Chains A and B, each alone.
Chain A
Amino acid sequence: MPESHKEDVTDLEARARRIRSHIVRATTAAASGHPSSSLSLVELVTVLYFGGVLRYDPNDPQNPDRDRFILSKGHAAPGLYAVLAEAGYFPVDQLTDLRKLGSPLEGHPNMCRLPGVEASTGSLGQGLSIGIGHALAIRLDGRNARVYVVVGDGESEEGQVWEAAMYAGNQGLDNLTVIVDRNGYQQTDAVDRVQALDPLDGKFEAFGFATKVIDGHSLEEVAAAYQWAHGVEGKPQAIIANTIKGKGVALLEAKQGGWHGKPIPADEEAKALEEIGAGA
């Protein structure tokens, strides 16, 4: 049976540091990828997989009673791979095969090649609809599994996100939680300068969601938000997680708007890892 895994705060902090260091090492080794878009969602996935939320079993990844985690913003694949490796889906030392020929750790997630990946994403806007399909199937089968979908704030410019939100709201899919990794920046500029999203919680609320705005880097607030989501009945939930693009690495935090889809150069890697403080 898929089970949740609950660690205490000290262990969660250590997990988060390890996941950050995996992201940096993998993308620097690949000399490409999206570390800054991955670093912003580290606490969101750390608490999901290790804070007693997601019920999963790496030895039985297709168990119909598992909870589902769908990364709609597929370019944050290094973050997904890092947490899956930590969760035991594959060895941690495979992470530095990221983006290499023959590796199942493709530039964007490919569900056919890597266990634990619930959806092949990378063309933005599609994950929430896929999550709805899972949520409907779960409801139809009378299971109590839940579905979690992380979308980006820039990604929320895609119309399909709102087609999906409208449907989830109208269906009252309370086994579905959307988490917006609101790191504020998209490829070329700040999200609010490209397409202002505010009020983002108000938008989801208008589409029939229960909403909560949190600090997406506070392990306590993230854990409380998942617990809150679990208790909501009759409505899907949207957690708007305010985050920092590149969180944990000074170089990236300083250049939030100008560091999309670029790895940390090899000669800056040691400094970045030291800032993250994951140890050897």
Chain B
Amino acid sequence: MSFGLSHVELPEGAATREAFGAALAEAGVDERIVVVDGDVNNSTFTNHFMDRYPERFFNAGIAEANMVGIAAGLAAAGKIPVAATFSTFLMSNAFDQIRMSVAFPNLNVKLVGSHAGISIGEDGPSQMAIEDIALACALPGFTVIVPADATSAKAATVAMLEREGPTFLRCGRPKVPVIYKEGADFELGRANQLRDGDDVTIIANGIMVCMALDAAEALSKEGVEARVVDMHTVKPIDTAAIESAANETRGIVVAEEHLAYGGLGSTVAMVVAEKRPVRMAFVNVGDTFATSGKPDELLVQYGLTPAAILDAARRVLKD
């Protein structure tokens, strides 16, 4: 399968949050779509929607609990509300409202968390969502999406709006390399295999996908062919893609910009344990908060690098 890989340097792509904002503004021709903002529209880029459709844009201010409740009411009244703010303030601050007012009644609310992960950089750990995937996946009925680049973030935004039901879309702050060509296949719940390989599988999402591709290139030079899978939808997880990887390769590395507990790694491991146990290794933030620093410095400091994925693959293939 080909997705037109063009693995470019980091500053050349747009941030996934920018792609979300652009796609949302385009989707706004559908009058059912309304936006509820936590006063960060110039950070989440919902300001493009606001400029075009001011009457359907509601800035709830710095009050995430109320923001989510308003979105729930709008959904119950037939609208398609998109509630967007920094991921940590959305998922951590308003978790009870998301659980009770959105998930339990299974309302058609779209939650978008930007500035996820440690790659936000200098603002530091208070602003870094590193547990948001675990929280979102813990909600019955939720679909949870972590796109890898601008192209797939646009496709994910469209898919999220078309899907009926509560959905969490996680976006990042920094610019990321472009991986997908416009028009590439993107289906919620179906992983994209970006590179073929029969020795080891690297399953990644978000910013870690481009690093997985880098690591695979390096492994190839060692004579190891790595399969790279973009698991953009963490929930519902693509069980078939994981089962194939477990059957057809010798082990699985999971790479994500999230804590060790409750994220993509845990979810993949659950499937592997049940379907076909194989060696696994995990690349993630571990069990710690990060610090302030430049995004690339932090990624190195906390072991989210192609080199870390490479090491993990070697561990999996050992013995």
Which residues of A are in contact with B by a Cβ distance under 8 Å? 64, 110-112, 118-123, 125-126, 128-138, 140, 159-160, 163-164, 166-167
Q: Check B61 against A123 for contact (C-beta < 8 Å).
A: no
Determine if B105 and A131 form an interchain contact, defined as CB atoms under 8 angstroms apart: no
Inter-chain contact B101/A130, CB cutoff 8 Å: yes
Chain B, interface size category, equals: 20 to 34
User: What are 18 A-B interface contacts by the 8 Å CB criterion?
Assistant: A119-B73, A120-B101, A123-B100, A129-B72, A129-B73, A131-B73, A133-B72, A133-B76, A133-B77, A134-B73, A136-B74, A137-B74, A140-B56, A163-B63, A163-B66, A166-B61, A166-B63, A167-B66
Q: What's the nearest-Cβ distance from chain B to residue A11, in Å?
A: 31
Asked if A126 and B97 sit within 8 Å, CB to CB, the answer is yes
Per the bound structure, the CA–CA distance linking A136 and B57 in Å amounts to 11
Contacts of A131 in B (CB 8 A): 73
A135 surroundings in chain B (CB, below 8 A): 73
Q: Give the A-binding residues of B (Cβ under 8 A).
A: 34, 55-56, 58, 60-61, 63, 65-66, 68-79, 81, 96-97, 99-101, 104-106
16 extra interchain contacts, Cβ-Cβ under 8 A, other than A129-B97, A140-B34, A164-B69? A112-B105, A120-B101, A121-B100, A123-B100, A129-B101, A130-B76, A131-B73, A132-B69, A133-B72, A133-B75, A134-B73, A135-B73, A137-B78, A140-B56, A160-B66, A167-B66
Cβ A126 vs Cβ B101 within 8 A: yes
Partner pick for A119 among B66, B76, B96, CB 8 A cutoff: B76
Alpha-carbon gap, A128 to B97, bound state (A): 12
- Tell me if A138 and B72 are in contact (CB < 8 A): no
A128: B residues at CB distance < 8 A = 69
Question: Are B96 and A133 in contact, CB atoms less than 8 angstroms apart?
Answer: no
For the complex, what is the distance from the CA of A164 to the CA of B58, rounded to whole Å?
A: 13
B102 to nearest A CB, angstroms?
10
A57 CB to closest chain B CB (Å) equals 16
A111 to B107, CA, bound (A): 10
Interface SS of chain B: helix, strand, loop or mixed?
A: helix
Expressed in whole angstroms, the minimum distance between the Cβ of B280 and any Cβ of chain A is 37
Residues of chain A with a CB closer than 8 A to B60's CB = 163, 167
A133 & B97 in contact (Cβ 8 Å cutoff): no
Q: Specify the chain B residue showing the minimal Cβ separation from A128.
A: B69
Among candidates A64, A120, A122, residue contacting B77 with C-beta atoms closer than 8 Å: A64
Residues of the A chain whose Cβ atoms lie less than 8 Å from the Cβ of B75: 133
- By the criterion CB–CB under 8 Å, are A132 and B101 in contact? no
For B76, the chain A residues whose CB sits under 8 A away are: 111, 118-119, 130, 133-134
- Expressed in whole angstroms, the minimum distance between the Cβ of A130 and any Cβ of chain B is 4
Q: How far is the CA of A132 from the CA of B65 in the complex (A)?
A: 13
Inter-subunit contact B63/A133 (CB<8 Å): no
Name the residue on B nearest A170 (C-beta): B61
User: In whole angstroms, what is the CA distance A140 to B68 when docked?
Assistant: 18
Contact in complex: B65, A160 (CB < 8 Å): yes
Instruction: Give the Cβ gap from B6 to chain A, nearest Cβ, in Å.
Output: 42
Cβ of B105 and Cβ of A126 under 8 Å apart? no
How far apart are B62's CB and chain A's nearest CB, in angstroms? 9
Given contacts A64-B77, A120-B104, contact A130 B58 (CB under 8 A): no
By the criterion CB–CB under 8 Å, are A126 and B100 in contact?
yes
A37 → chain B, closest Cβ, in Å?
18
With a cutoff of 8 Å between Cβ atoms, the chain B residues found around residue A166 in the complex are 61, 63
Across-interface contacts of B58 in A (CB, < 8 A): 136
Which residues of the partner chain B approach A132 to less than 8 Å between Cβ atoms? 66, 69-70, 73
Min CB gap A105→B, angstroms: 16
Nearest 4 pairs of A and B residues by beta carbon: A133-B73, A129-B69, A137-B77, A163-B66
Residue of A nearest to B96 (CB): A123
Known: A133-B81, A137-B79, A138-B77. A122 touches B100 (CB 8 A): yes
Residue of A nearest to B62 (CB): A163
Instruction: Please report the C-alpha to C-alpha distance between residue A110 and residue B72 in the assembled complex, in whole angstroms.
Output: 14
Determine the distance from Cα of A159 to Cα of B97 in the docked complex, in whole angstroms. Answer: 12
